[in-house]
């Protein structure tokens, strides 16, 4: 499982011209599920994301988590995080889990974030989404388990 975490001042997800998720200060997490991923990976990454200290404290040091700053999260499924571009010019996505495996794990990841106390919204699995990201910093962190 792979997570691309972006610290945002605001973010939103729009599907068919309807905004389905919108947050202010927090994290936008693009989440990819690979073959063999399961509960263990979802738990590890949810705990890590909830407690990752990437927000600034009063001294300007990155000592605070999304929980500490009372931020919110949007989780967006992103199978393209498993793109293999080593050969040719067209990426291969053979390492990404099939939708019937990935969709429940993305939902479980969001549920686990909520269990940690993080207000969490999601995109719409399998839909064409317009994701608006105001990356704050910019701060972008890659997590993998």
Would you name the residues annotated as active-site residues? 78-80
Neighbours of 134 (CB within 10 A): 15
Q: Which residues contact 14 (CB under 8 A, 6 or more apart)?
A: 20, 129, 130, 132
Two tokens at 90? 């067209």
Which residues on adjacent β-strands are paired with residue 121? 74
Residues in the chain: 145
How far apart CA 100 and CA 4 sit, in angstroms, is: 22
| Phi–psi pair at 38, nearest 5 degrees | -160, -155
How far apart CA 93 and CA 60 sit, in angstroms, is: 40
């Amino acid at each position: 499982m792979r997570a691309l975490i972006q610290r945002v001042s605001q973010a939103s997800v729009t599907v068919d011209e309807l905004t389905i998720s919108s947050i202010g200060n927090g994290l936008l997490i693009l989440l990819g599920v690979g073959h063999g991923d399961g509960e263990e990976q979802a738990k590890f990454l949810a705990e890590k994301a909830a407690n990752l200290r990437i927000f600034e404290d009063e001294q300007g040091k990155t000592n605070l988590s999304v929980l500490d700053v009372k931020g919110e999260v949007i989780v967006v499924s992103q199978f393209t995080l498993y793109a293999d571009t080593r050969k040719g010019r067209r990426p291969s996505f053979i390492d990404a889990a099939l939708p019937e495996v990935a969709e429940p794990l993305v939902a479980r990841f969001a549920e686990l974030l909520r269990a940690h106390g993080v207000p969490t919204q999601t995109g719409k699995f399998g839909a064409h989404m317009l994701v608006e990201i105001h990356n704050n910093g910019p701060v972008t962190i890659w997590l993998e388990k």
